Amino acid sequence: MTWRASVLTLFPEMFPGPLGHSLADRALKADIWSLQTVNIRDFATDRHRTVDDAPFGGGAGMVLRPDVVDAAIASVADDRPLVFLTPRGRTLAQQDVRRYAGGSGVILLCGRYEGVDQRVIEARGMEEVSIGDYVLSGGELPALVLLDAAIRLLPGVMGAADSAAEESFSERLVEYPHYTRPAEWQGRRVPDVLLSGHHAAVAAWRRTEAERTTRERRPDLWDAYTSATRAAPVVSPAAAP
């Protein structure tokens, strides 16, 4: 079954953008996923094709109208998650990406101006998602980020079956360091354990390095990882099936 992405935007020409290259492009051509862009402006009802208006209560900027946005959503609405890309949303995490990739697809609403009228957000039960604590000109780049993260998890997209399982955030840890040939470069040697051929020792080194890097660079992830580790049930050998 083809994984379907519908993107509601004022700038459909921004898609597929970088998704028209490399893994995502090959997967698109192989019908592993499909892309539908919907121009929100096509659902404006006046001769000027107006999609926004001044905010009630005053203030700078303009707000996308609920009637126009709702009509655009209605043109593609089904059982797929409806995601509004906005700086005020929860931060996109790998578990969200896995959930989106595991379904039939997503509908993405790209905000512009000061945002979208709150009433249509509530009426449509949108998920509000952010890719970080900063403000961009619109939701198109976050939509591309979310799609790239999800598409690469679809069956048949990545070459190595276990690549995704070992990546950063798969177990609340960032990834361990990587090395390749030559074994010595500018006086810097690859860690001896990686040249040992001892698979258990390599696995232990990688786990230790992932834990160390997470602890040093991402204390928020480290706290979540250690909390989950403490909460995990301990199964004695006698009780194991």
pLDDT in tens, 174-217: 999 999 999 999 999 999 999 999 999 999 999 999 999 999 99
The number of distinct structural domains making up the chain is: 2
Does the pLDDT of residue 160 top 70, yes or no?
A: no
Instruction: Check whether 4 has a pLDDT greater than 70.
Output: yes
**Quick one: pLDDT at residue 230?**
83
Asked if 138 and 11 count as a contact pair (C-beta separation under 8 A), the reply is yes
The reply to whether omega before 16 is within 30° of 0 (cis) is yes
- Look at residue 103 and tell me whether its pLDDT is greater than 90: yes
CA neighbor of 144 nearest in space, from 12, 3, 2, 1:
12
Residue 158 lies in a domain: no
**What's the mean pLDDT in 94-120?**
97
What's the pLDDT score for residue 234? 53
Model pLDDT for residues 161-177, shown as the tens digit of each residue:
545 555 656 678 999 99
The answer to whether residues 12 and 93 belong to one domain is yes
Find the range with the poorest average confidence among 23-37, 44-58, 137-151, 226-240: 226-240
As to burial, measured by CB atoms within 10 angstroms (0-12 exposed, 13-18 middle, 19+ buried), residue 73 is: buried
Same domain, 25 and 76: yes
Cβ atoms of 130 and 87 within 8 Å: the answer is yes
Same domain, 26 and 78: yes
> Under 8 Å CB-to-CB from 112, ≥6 apart: which residues?
10, 52, 64, 137, 138, 139
Q: Write down the pLDDT at residue 168.
A: 57
CATH code of the domain containing 198: 1.10.1270.20
Domain edge (last residue) among 96, 121, 151:
151
Please list, in sequence order, all residues whose beta carbon lies within 8 angstroms of the beta carbon of residue 91, skipping any fewer than 6 positions away.
129, 130, 131, 132, 133
Per cent of the chain over pLDDT 70 is: 91
Return the number of other C-beta atoms located less than 10 Å from residue 4's C-beta.
17
Residues 143 and 173 in one domain: no
> How would you classify residue 68: left for phi > 0, otherwise alpha for psi between -120 and 50, otherwise beta?
alpha
User: Distance (Å, rounded) from C-alpha 39 to C-alpha 56?
Assistant: 25
177, 209 Cβ separation under 8 angstroms? yes
Instruction: Indicate the residue among 121, 151, 181 that finishes a domain.
Output: 151
**Neighbouring C-beta atoms of residue 231, cutoff 10 Å:** 7
Q: Look up residue 21 and give its two tokens.
A: 């290259």
Domain that holds residue 141: 3-151
Q: What is the mean pLDDT of the chain?
A: 93
Q: How confident is the model at residue 229 (pLDDT cuts 50, 70, 90)?
A: confident
Residues 22 and 119 in one domain: yes
Residue 106 has pLDDT above 90, yes or no: yes
Instruction: Give the closest residue to 115 by CA, choosing from 58, 47, 69.
Output: 69
Residues ≥6 apart with Cβ < 8 Å to 40 = 8, 9, 10, 51, 64, 68, 69, 72
Judge whether 236 lies within some domain.
no
Answer whether residue 163 is part of any domain. no
* 103 lies in some domain: yes
What is the pLDDT averaged over residues 78-105? Answer: 97
SS3 label, residue 34 = strand
**Dist. CA 178–CA 218, nearest whole Å:** 19
